[in-house]
Amino acid sequence: MINISERRFKKMDEKETTEKVKPDNTEKDTGERDKSKAVNLVEGANLAAERMEAANAKAEELVARQEEAAAKMILGGQAEAGQAHVKPEEISDEEYANQVMKGEVKK
């Protein structure tokens, strides 16, 4: 049987060996990878700019169409500001009472 103190020593020894065995990955950096990443970033930025320009052009077209539709509504008398307020016809008290008795009055 292994006693507790031996287990501790084994665990400590295992940790030391794993820490010491780490490989040294020092390669010469030529900058090749950095250039390819930069090219990919530039291409991505160009694609994003093209998409934004296309979206802006489409938005401008939609705004122009909305302005044209609003102008047609105003000139055609369909806009809220261009409508005349229609007053309900006034009826006398007797006529109103008769309509209420007949059930013709809408609430």
Q: Percentage of the chain with pLDDT > 70?
A: 59
On the question of pLDDT at 10 being above 70, the answer is no
Asked whether the whole model's pTM tops 0.75, one would answer no
The domain locations on the chain are: 34-79
Compute the distance between CA of residue 91 and CA of residue 101 in angstroms, rounded to an integer.
Answer: 15
Compute the distance between CA of residue 104 and CA of residue 90 in angstroms, rounded to an integer.
Answer: 15
Say what the alpha-carbon torsion angle 58, 59, 63, 68 is, to the nearest 10 degrees: 10
Compute the distance between CA of residue 93 and CA of residue 101 in angstroms, rounded to an integer.
Answer: 12
Mean pLDDT of 93-101: 92
Compute the distance between CA of residue 14 and CA of residue 10 in angstroms, rounded to an integer.
Answer: 6
- State the pLDDT at residue 78: 63
- State the pLDDT at residue 56: 96
On the question of pLDDT at 15 being above 60, the answer is no
Confidence of residue 82 (pLDDT cuts 50, 70, 90): low
- State the pLDDT at residue 47: 94
Compute the distance between CA of residue 14 and CA of residue 8 in angstroms, rounded to an integer.
Answer: 10
- State the pLDDT at residue 25: 59
